[in-house]
Chain A
Amino acid sequence: MMRNWWKWICLLLLMYVIIVALVVPLVPGSESVNITSLHPGLQRVEITGYNTHFVQEEENLQCYVSIGKTLVKGQNLSVISETQAAFDLILPDTIPDKNVGFYANTDFDGTIYLSTAMRMEGFILEPNTPWKGDVITVKNEEQQFFGFPFQPNLFETIRNLMFHVPMWFTMFFLMTISFVMSIQAMNQKPEKDLKAAAAAEIGLWFCALGLITGSVWARFTWGAWWNKDPQLNGAMVVFIVYATYFILRKSVQDEIKRARLSAVFNIFAFILMILLLMVMPRMVDTSLHPGKSGNPAFSKYDLDSSLRMVFYPAVIAWGMLGYWMYRWQTKVNQYKNEENEG
C-alpha cells in the first residue's frame, strides 16, 4: 500500500480533475447582440448573455454601450429571460470613436462585456466632440461565484483544456524519458532500449489521443476537423515518425543492432518533435493555437486562476498515469525479451 502511494495520489487527482472539470460552471458572459449596425437616434438593442441571471437581478440590471471611452446608458430596459434583455439606445449624430462595446451589469453577475464589429451608419466622426455620454454607476464589477472563464468562441469547450492539453504534456514527458533511455542505450547499455521503446509506445498512444481530441475540439471551435495549422501538421508528422520507430524496431532481429539503430532514430525523432511542436509554430503567422503566432494564451484569459486550479493537477495526474503505464509497458517488454532470449 505505502509502496504505491503515488499511484493513489494519481487516482485521487484524476478523480478530482474529471469531476471538477465537468461540474464547475462558466462565469456569466455576453454572447451576442441582435444588431449588426448602429445609426444616430433611437435604436432597440437586445443583448444575449450566457449563464446570466437577468430575471433574478431585474431590479439591478443596467445595460450600456461604449462608444470609444464614452458610455451611453440603455433606456426603457426590459428583461426577456435570464439570458436576454432589451433596451433603447439613443445616439447623437457626432461621435468621438467608432469602437463599440456592449455591457450588462448586475450585482450577482458583475459586468459582462461584448466587443463586436458594428457598421456605423450616418455618424460624423469627431474625435474632439464635446459629447460626454452618461454617468454610469456600476455597483459591482466582479461575479459573485466561482467558475471557469467565459470565452465567446469556446463556451463550455474551455473544459477540454484539462483533457486535450495534458495529453501533449504527457507525450512530451514520456518522449523525454525515451530520449534519455536511448542515449543510455547508445552508451553500452542495450537493456535501456526496452525502456526507451516502452516510453515511446505509451507516448505515441497519448499523441494519438491528443490528435483525436484536438480534432474534435477544432471542429467546433475553428469549424473544421483539420486546419492548415503548423502545430496540427507538426503533431501528425511526429506521430508518423514515432510510428516509423516501431516499424524500424520490428525490422531488425539482432538485439544489439536493434538497440543502437533504434536509439539513433529515437534521438533524431525527439529533436524533430521539439522543432515541429515547440519551435516551428512560434515562427509562423498562421497558427490558430493559443499562445502561437501572437494569439493570446489561456493564461491571459485566466488571471483569476480558476482554470489553473484544475489544469495543473490535470497535467500532473495524466503525467503520472502515463508514467504508470510506461512502467507496465516496460515489464511487458522485459518479459518478452527474456522469452525471446530463452
Chain B
Amino acid sequence: MRANFFALWCASVLSFITTTAQASSWEMKMYEHGKISVVYWVVAIVIIGLSLKITLLNLRLKKEKRNHHS
C-alpha cells in the first residue's frame, strides 16, 4: 500500500513538473497574461500539502508499527 502511495506522490509531482515545463514554452502563444501562474501555485499547494500529510502518515505508521512489535 505504501508503494502505491509513493507511486502516486512521484507521479503527481512528476506530472506537475513536466506540464509546468511544457507550459512555460507555450506562454507566448497561449498564456500571455500570467494568470496561469496562479494555477501552478494552487496545484503546487495541493500536491505539496497532500504529499506532506502522506509523508507524515507514513512516518507515524512506521513508528507505531515499530512500537507495536517491540
Chain A contact residues, CB within 8 Å of chain B: 4, 7-8, 10-11, 14-15, 18-19, 21-23, 25-26, 50-51, 83, 154-157, 159-160, 163-164, 167, 202, 205, 208-209, 212-213, 216-217, 219-220, 321, 324-325, 328-329, 331-332, 335-336, 338-339
Would B33 and A339 count as touching, CB distance under 8 A? no
Taking a contact as CB atoms under 8 Å apart, the answer to whether B45 and A213 are in contact is yes
The residues of B with any CB-CB pair to A shorter than 8 Å are 1, 4-5, 7-8, 11-12, 15-16, 19-20, 22-23, 30-33, 35-36, 38-39, 41-43, 45-46, 49-50, 53-54, 57, 60-61, 64-65, 67-68
Chain B residues, Cβ within 8 Å of A325:
50, 53-54, 57
Cβ of A151 to closest chain B Cβ, rounded Å: 11
Q: Are A19 and B19 neighbours in the complex by a CB distance under 8 Å? A: yes
Given the interface pairs A4-B4, A7-B1, A18-B16, the reply to whether A220 lies near B38 with Cβ below 8 Å is yes
Interface centre among A19, A154, A208, A335 (most CB of B within 10 A): A335
Q: Within the complex, which residue of A7, A208, A216, A329 is in contact with B57, where a contact is CB–CB below 8 Å? A: A329
Q: Which residues of B contact A25 (CB under 8 A)?
A: 30
B residues less than 8 Å from A157 (CB atoms): 35, 38-39
A25 to B65, CA, bound (A): 47
| CB-based contact B46/A11 at 8 Å | no
Given known contacts A22-B19, A325-B53, is B42 in contact with A339 (CB within 8 Å)?
Answer: no
Tell me whether B4 and A11 are in contact (CB under 8 A).
Answer: yes
List chain A residues, Cβ under 8 A from B19: 18-19, 22-23
Q: Which residues of A contact B67 (CB under 8 A)?
A: 335, 339
A11-B11, A213-B46, A325-B54 known; A335+B35 contact, CB < 8 A:
no
Residues of B within 8 A of A10 (CB): 8
Check A22/B23 contact, CB under 8 A, given A15-B15, A155-B33, A208-B49: yes
A14 touching B8 in the complex, CB below 8 Å, given contacts A19-B19, A22-B19, A332-B57: yes
Q: Could you tell me if A160 and B42 are in contact, using CB atoms closer than 8 angstroms?
A: yes
Q: Is the CB of A332 within 8 A of B61?
A: yes
What's the least CB distance linking A117 to chain B, in Å?
A: 21
